[in-house]
């Protein structure tokens, strides 16, 4: 039990890590593009965000481990790319960084491997999980941190005493007690993800191999703002990031089979 801390969603746990570990101007490193909250939380805490661009194939930037950061974030599988960094590379990174390595595994139930096994061996690794994605329980606000007891003791000193209410606790226990239901949910989403990927490729998109519950589809060099707007006009909501390097991409969440069919039809017509 002393290796686990429960949070009000994994977003709270991300905030607690920074509150517990960094002083103003301390460096916090992460590859980009990634979950945008990291940058916001670092700014709120007065830290210095050290961002390293992923290469095109979304392997780890080699300089990440040498960034002299007090905290390093690795979103794995990564959002918005959906790509997965394999275990040997994560372990090597954990051994190379100076401070804490936070492996944000919000989407890991959709992937074939995870880094939980590193926690018992490496005291600077913190693995974050959530019930918001694979369990489809985002409104419950329950996240889990797995790490060395000393690391978690530091997080406990800066958290609210009663950060997770009694009702979410009961519901989370019920959800975690029924892993087959989660796995059935994941299997359905992975099957639809394959169909979505093939459909987008047929329409001429480059689609990165996704290990998450969304895919990043790209028309290289072609701004996807008009496509996202045309879809929104038909009540089909996909993510378009108006930032350099992602303007030609759409992040599509794997919905139901009917929703995916509607999306593919609308894209074919646009
Ligand atoms: C990479 C990543 N980490 C963490 C979270 C936060 O999840 P939670 O609902 O557990 O706060 C999200 C949610 O979008 C996410 O995409």
DSSP assignment string, 115-149? SGGGTTT-TTEEEEEESSSTT--GGG--EEEE--H
- The predicted structure's pLDDT at residue 244: 82
User: How close is the Cα of 135 to the center of ligand 1, in Å?
Assistant: 13
Q: Are both 200 and 72 inside the same structural domain?
A: no
User: Which of 157, 176, 195 corresponds to the end of one domain?
Assistant: 176
Question: Of 176, 131, 122, 171, which Cα lies nearest the Cα of 151?
Answer: 122
Count of structural domains within the chain: 2
Dist. CA 205 → ligand 1 center (Å): 26
What is the structure's pLDDT at 83?
98
Q: Which of ligand 1's atoms lies nearest the C-alpha of 138? A: 9
pLDDT at residue 270, as a whole number: 82
Question: Is residue 136 located within the same domain as residue 213?
Answer: no
User: Does 126 share its domain with 233?
Assistant: no
Mean pLDDT confidence for 243-247? 89
- The CA 245 to ligand 1 mean position distance, Å, reads 22
Q: How many CA atoms lie within 13 A of 3 on its CB side?
A: 15
Question: Do 115 and 198 fall into the same domain?
Answer: no
Q: Are residues 88 and 41 both part of a single domain?
A: yes
The first and second tokens of residue 76, run together, are 């794995």
Is the omega angle on the peptide bond into residue 251 within 30 degrees of 0, that is, cis? no
Length of the chain: 270
- Reported as a pLDDT band with limits 50, 70 and 90, residue 145 is very high
Q: What is the mean pLDDT of the chain?
A: 97
Model confidence pLDDT, tens digit, residues 64-110: 999 999 999 999 999 999 999 999 999 999 999 999 999 999 999 99
Residues with CB under 6 A from ligand 1: 9-11, 35, 75, 79, 104, 106, 130, 132, 138, 143
Per-residue model confidence as pLDDT tens digits over 14-56: 999 999 999 999 999 999 999 999 999 999 999 999 999 999 9
Q: Tell me, in angstroms, the distance from the centre of ligand 1 to residue 270's CA.
A: 32
* pLDDT score recorded for residue 141: 98
* Alpha-carbon span 99 to 81, nearest angstrom: 26
**Residue 231 pLDDT > 90, yes or no?**
yes
| The pLDDT of residue 233 | 96
* Half-sphere exposure at residue 262, Cβ-oriented, CA atoms within 13 angstroms: 13
**In this prediction, what percent of the chain has a pLDDT beyond 90?**
97
**Does residue 189 sit in the same domain as residue 75?**
no
Q: Please give the distance, rounded to the nearest whole angstrom, from the Cα atom of residue 6 to the centre of ligand 1.
A: 14
What CATH number does the domain containing 35 carry? 3.40.640.10
Confidence of residue 243 (pLDDT cuts 50, 70, 90): confident
State the DSSP H helix or E strand holding residue 181, giving kind and residue range, or none if neither. Answer: helix 179-202
Q: What is the rounded distance in angstroms from the CA atom of residue 270 to the CA atom of residue 257?
A: 20
Omega before 33 cis (within 30°)? yes
DSSP 109: G
Q: Quick one: which atom of ligand 1 is closest to the CA of 79?
A: 1
Are 117 and 168 in contact, with CB atoms under 8 Å apart? no
pLDDT score of 245 more than 90: no
Domain end (from 176, 192, 218): 176
Q: Do 39 and 143 reside in the same domain of the chain?
A: yes
- CA nearest to 38, candidates 27, 84, 138, 132: 27
- Mark whether 216 and 235 lie in a shared domain: yes
Residue 170: alpha-carbon gap to chain centroid: 25
Task: Mention every residue, 6+ apart, whose C-beta is less than 8 A from residue 31.
Answer: 51, 52, 53, 54, 60, 61, 64, 74, 78
**Ligand 1 pocket test, candidate residues 37, 81, 108, most atoms within 8 A of CB:** 37
Contact 212, 110 (CB under 8 A): yes
Q: From the centroid of its chain, how far is CA 92?
A: 20
CA-closest residue to ligand 1 atom 7? 10
pLDDT band at 242 (very low <50, low <70, confident <90, very high): confident
Give yes or no: residues 48 and 84 share one domain: yes
Tokens of 82: 């959906």
Which tens digit of pLDDT belongs to each residue from 166-209?
A: 999 999 999 999 999 999 999 999 999 999 999 999 999 999 99
Give the helix/strand (H/E) hosting 75. strand 71-75
Domain that includes residue 235, residue range? 180-269
């Amino acid at each position: 039990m002393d290796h686990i801390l429960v949070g009000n969603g994994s977003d709270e746990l991300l905030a607690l890590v920074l509150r517990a570990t960094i002083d103003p101007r301390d460096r916090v490193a992460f590859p980009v593009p990634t979950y945008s909250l990291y940058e916001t939380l670092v700014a709120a805490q007065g830290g210095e965000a050290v961002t390293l661009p992923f290469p095109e194939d979304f392997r780890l930037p080699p300089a990440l481990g040498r960034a002299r950061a007090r905290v390093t974030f690795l979103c794995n599988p990564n959002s918005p790319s959906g790509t997965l960094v394999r275990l040997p590379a994560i372990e090597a990174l954990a051994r190379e960084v100076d401070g804490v390595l936070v492996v944000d595994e919000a989407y890991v139930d959709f992937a074939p491997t995870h880094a939980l096994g590193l926690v018992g061996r490496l005291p600077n690794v913190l693995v974050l999980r959530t019930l918001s994605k694979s369990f489809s329980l985002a409104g419950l606000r329950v996240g889990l941190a797995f790490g060395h007891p000393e690391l978690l003791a530091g997080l406990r000193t800066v958290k609210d005493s009663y950060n997770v209410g009694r009702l979410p606790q009961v519901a989370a226990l019920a959800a975690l007690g029924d892993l087959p239901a989660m796995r059935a949910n994941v299997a359905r989403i992975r099957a639809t993800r394959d169909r979505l990927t093939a459909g987008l490729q047929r329409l001429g998109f480059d689609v990165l191999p996704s290990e998450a519950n969304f895919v990043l589809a790209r028309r290289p060099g072609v701004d996807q703002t008009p496509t996202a707007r045309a879809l929104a006009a038909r009540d089909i909501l996909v993510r378009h990031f108006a930032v350099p390097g992602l303007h030609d991409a759409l992040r599509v969440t794997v919905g139901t089979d009917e929703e995916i069919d509607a999306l593919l039809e609308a894209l074919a017509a646009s």
